[in-house]
């Protein structure tokens, strides 16, 4: 006869989850609720007074052509950064199985950029492409290309994208390497015996089996492009030239800290948070259907 085990009430489970709940409340729920509340207010820059204006802050945003332009730039920037960082990292992770010597050095060199702070990453790239002192800018000038990202908006956006992709490749690489190494070698060896080449083995066996990791990284990279690239943009271009690299997260900071439009900045943060939540829900609802666990 099968005996059922019953556990009495205990406070231990609540104590174990309490730290995470407290952190979530203090660092997410409370700031998010404050931003939502402030988005309905017209506040004095010095915090001396406020007026409840309902949805006027949101209406002013969508009447602002610069904010709509930031929308388009953020969509383009996020897509390019996420796609490029994941593609390059996947290619590097796939190549690691073909390296017989120096594999640990190869891994270490690729992981190092992940330890670099976003601001430092931006500073490194802005020094290398500085129009007067940068080594890469000098190399481009020698072949007849006059590089100046301080005046050319397209070059500035390209430089920010390159820095953001370089910073995120290491993170994606770690997960792709772990996912590829978890695939049984017998499957790949059987395909090789059947005559499948390296490219065929990758697309027919390896890539379908790492789709859960790919889906996870897709969500993480989009969130990274929306939020964690602020330091890179600030270090390289500060949103310029002529707002050519002013993405949504940077505009939230600029309008709140520099322009002192506290209500408008709070409304922007609420919209940005809503966009990321909606995109994440769409990814889990539709893209995840194509993921085989």
Q: Can you list the domains of the chain with their CATH numbers?
A: 52-288 (1.10.3720.10)
Q: What is the pLDDT of residue 252?
A: 92
pLDDT band at 290 (very low <50, low <70, confident <90, very high): low
> Going along the chain, which residue ranges are E strands?
41-43, 50-52
Confidence of residue 52 (pLDDT cuts 50, 70, 90): confident
223-238 per-position pLDDT tens digit: 899 988 999 999 999 9
In whole angstroms, give the CA distance from residue 276 to residue 233.
19
Of 46-60, 247-261, 276-290, the one with minimum mean pLDDT is: 276-290
Give the pLDDT score at 232: 94
Residue 153's CB is within 10 A of a number of other CB atoms, namely: 16
216: nearest Cα among 115, 287, 114, 161: 287
* Partners of 42 in beta bridges: 51
What is the model's pLDDT at position 73? 94
Structure confidence at residue 110 (pLDDT): 76
Write the DSSP assignment of 79-145 as a string of letters. Answer: HHHHHHHHHHHHHHHHHGGG--SSHHHHHHHHHGGGGS-HHHHHHHHHHHT-TTT-HHHHHHHHTT-
Q: What is the per-residue pLDDT for 199?
A: 82
Express each pLDDT in 245-259 by its tens digit. Answer: 999 999 999 988 888
pLDDT at 2: 58
Give the pLDDT band (50/70/90) at residue 5: low
Count of H-run helices and E-run strands, the chain: 15, 2
For the chain, percent of residues with pLDDT exceeding 70: 92
Is 90 exceeded by the pLDDT of residue 107? no
Q: Are 276 and 223 in contact (CB under 8 A)?
A: yes
Q: How far apart are CA 268 and CA 57, in angstroms?
A: 9
Which of the four pLDDT bands, split at 50, 70 and 90, describes residue 181? Answer: confident
With a threshold of 0.75, does the pTM exceed it? yes
């Amino acid at each position: 006869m099968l005996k059922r085990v019953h556990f009495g009430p205990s406070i231990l489970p609540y104590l174990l989850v309490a730290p995470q709940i407290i952190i979530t409340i203090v660092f997410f729920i409370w700031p998010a609720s404050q931003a939502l509340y402030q988005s309905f207010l017209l506040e004095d820059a010095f915090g001396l007074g406020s007026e409840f204006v309902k949805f006027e802050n949101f209406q002013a945003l969508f009447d602002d052509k610069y904010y709509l332009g930031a929308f388009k730039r953020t969509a383009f920037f996020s897509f390019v950064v996420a796609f490029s960082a994941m593609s390059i990292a996947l290619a590097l992770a796939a190549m690691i199985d073909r390296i017989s010597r120096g594999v640990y050095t190869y891994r270490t060199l690729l992981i190092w950029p992940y330890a670099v702070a976003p601001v430092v990453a931006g500073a490194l790239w802005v020094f290398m492409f500085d129009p007067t002192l940068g080594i890469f800018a000098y190399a481009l000038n020698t072949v007849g290309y006059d590089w100046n990202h301080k005046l050319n908006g397209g070059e500035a956006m390209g430089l920010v994208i390159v820095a953001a992709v370089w910073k995120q490749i290491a993170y994606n690489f770690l997960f792709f390497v772990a996912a590829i190494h978890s695939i049984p070698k017998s499957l790949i060896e059987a395909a090789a015996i059947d005559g499948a080449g390296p490219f065929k083995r990758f697309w027919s066996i390896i890539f379908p089996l790492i789709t859960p990791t790919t889906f996870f990284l897709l969500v993480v990279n989009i969130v990274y492009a929306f939020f964690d690239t602020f330091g890179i943009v600030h270090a390289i271009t500060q949103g310029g030239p002529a707002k050519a690299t002013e993405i949504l997260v940077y505009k939230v900071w600029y309008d709140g800290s520099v322009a002192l439009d506290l209500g408008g900045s709070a409304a922007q943060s609420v919209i940005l948070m809503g966009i990321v939540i909606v995109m994440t829900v769409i990814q889990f609802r539709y893209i995840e259907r194509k993921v085989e666990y």
